[in-house]
Amino acid sequence: MSCAHHPSISLLEAFAKGELSACWSVPIAAHTEFCSKCRNLVHSLESALALSELGGDEFSLPEEIGFDFDLDSIMSLPQQEKPTLEGQASDSVVEVNGQRILVPRVIRHCYKDSLNWSPALNKLSFASLGAESESRLYLIHIGAGATVPQHSHRGNELTLVLDGQYTDAMGEYNTGDFVQLGANHSHSPQTAANEGCLVVSMVDAPLHFTEGWSRLINPLSQLFFR
What pLDDT shows up at residue 70?
46
| Average pLDDT value over all residues in the chain | 80
Q: Is 195 exposed, middle or buried (0-12, 13-18, 19+ CB in 10 A)?
A: middle
pLDDT computed for residue 105 by the predictor: 92
> Yes or no: is domain 93-225 CATH 3.30.465.10?
no
Q: What is the pLDDT of residues 57-113, one digit of tens each?
A: 555 555 544 444 444 444 454 544 556 666 555 568 899 988 899 999 999 889 877
Among 69-83, 179-193, 198-212, top mean pLDDT goes to 179-193
Q: Mean of the pLDDT values across residues 32-40?
A: 92
> Whose CA is closest to 218, among 226, 183, 157, 210?
210
Pick from 78-87, 131-140, 148-157: least confident: 78-87
Average pLDDT over residues 33-54: 86
The reported pLDDT for the residue numbered 164 is 95
pLDDT value at residue 219: 44
Give the pLDDT score at 158.
96
Domain ranges across the chain:
9-74, 93-225
What pLDDT, on a 0 to 100 scale, did the predictor assign at position 151?
A: 77
Cα dihedral value 137, 143, 146, 151, nearest 10: 0
Report the pLDDT value the prediction gives residue 226, as an integer from 0 to 100.
Answer: 44
CA distances from 68 to 42, 48, 58, 77, 176 (A): 13, 17, 23, 11, 19
* pLDDT (average), residues 39-43: 90
What confidence category does residue 210 fall into, taking pLDDT thresholds of 50, 70 and 90?
Answer: low
Measured between alpha carbons, how far is 179 from 21 in angstroms, rounded to an integer? 18
In this prediction, residue 124 carries a pLDDT of 87
Assess whether pLDDT exceeds 60 at residue 203.
Answer: yes
Higher pLDDT, 48 or 95: 95
